[in-house]
Structure formats: C-alpha cells, structure tokens
C-alpha cells in the first residue's frame, strides 16, 4: 500500500511546484500588464509553493531511495 502513496507524493510535489512557478511568472508579468502595478498579495504567497514542492520532491526521493535497499 505504501507503493501507491509514494507516487501520489511525487504528483503532489509536481503540482505544488508548478503552482509556485506559475506564481513566479505572474509576479514578473503583472507589472508589465498593469503599467507598473504590483501583483496581489496572494501571488506573493503562492510563490512559496515552488520551494515547498521542491522539498516534497526531495522527501519522495529520499523515501524511495531507502526502500530500494
């Protein structure tokens, strides 16, 4: 049953990382679109999803590596 939950962790890491990357892109595109305005606060919060997704990916890699031994 653990083998089914591990790919879900990798999928979750990928989704969270992608959300973070999209927020980073939005953070840089927003001033160009709004003539110098800043992005809304939730965009700044969503940018923290990129490192969180990265950490989840590392946790998946470490857990799957231990299982292989």
Query: How far apart are the C-alpha atoms of 14 and 57, rounded to whole Å?
Result: 8
The residue that leads in pLDDT, 51 or 3, is: 51
What is the three-class DSSP state of 45?
helix
What are the domain boundaries of the chain?
A: 14-68
- Alpha carbons 19 and 13: distance in angstroms, whole number: 10
Residue 67: per-residue pLDDT:
60
What DSSP letter does each residue of 16-63 carry, written as one string? HHHHHHHHHHHHHHHHHHTTSPPPPHHHHHHTTHHHHHHHHHHHHHHH
pLDDT of residue 6: 61
For 2-46, what is each residue's pLDDT tens digit?
Answer: 555 568 999 999 999 999 999 999 999 998 998 888 889 999 999
**Is a pLDDT exceeding 50 seen at residue 1?**
no
């Amino acid at each position: 049953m653990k083998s089914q939950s591990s790919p879900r962790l990798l999928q979750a890491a990928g989704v969270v990382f992608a959300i973070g990357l999209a927020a980073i892109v939005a953070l840089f595109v927003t001033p160009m679109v709004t003539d110098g305005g800043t992005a809304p606060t939730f965009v700044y919060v969503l940018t923290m999803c990129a490192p969180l997704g990265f950490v989840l990916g590392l946790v998946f890699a470490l857990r799957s590596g231990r299982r292989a031994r």
